[in-house]
Structure 1
Amino acid sequence: MVEAETLMRQAGDTAEIWLKQAIDATEHLPVSEDARATIIAAFIQAAAQDQHTMTVRALAENGLLNKVES
């Protein structure tokens, strides 16, 4: 099991990488700074959602999710 402190550090490192990628991707767009900030925020949200989805998928593929019964 990964410790909480490790996950917290890794999350910060990942967010920093995503932020740098978003800044680079939007650097030369002919948009206002407000629009650029919105695009960067959307980029980071999309990256986070993708990572979450891939984590859930990996858990499911390895049979590590509990079956929910109604």
Structure 2
Amino acid sequence: MARYYVNKNAQSNGDHEVHKQGCYWLPLIENRIYLGEFNTCKAAIREAKKYYNRVNGCFHCSNECHTS
């Protein structure tokens, strides 16, 4: 299982990115919300949608959940 976080700051397209712990692109602690430990990024995306309507997986660490 991996620890996942969602970025409080939206990307230019309005998406809030979901990252795994250890990702190079993980936002600073004050700019992220801890989502919990999950087996898949899909579960982390579902949890992130409790905070934000528009979420997306990080291209680098959660690529299987990343949409263009």
Please classify the TM superposition score into its range, dividing by the shorter chain length.
under 0.3
- Whose relative contact order is higher, 1 or 2, with alpha carbons under 8 Å and at least 6 apart? 2
In proportion to residue count, which structure has more strand?
2
* TM-score normalised according to structure 2 size: 0.24
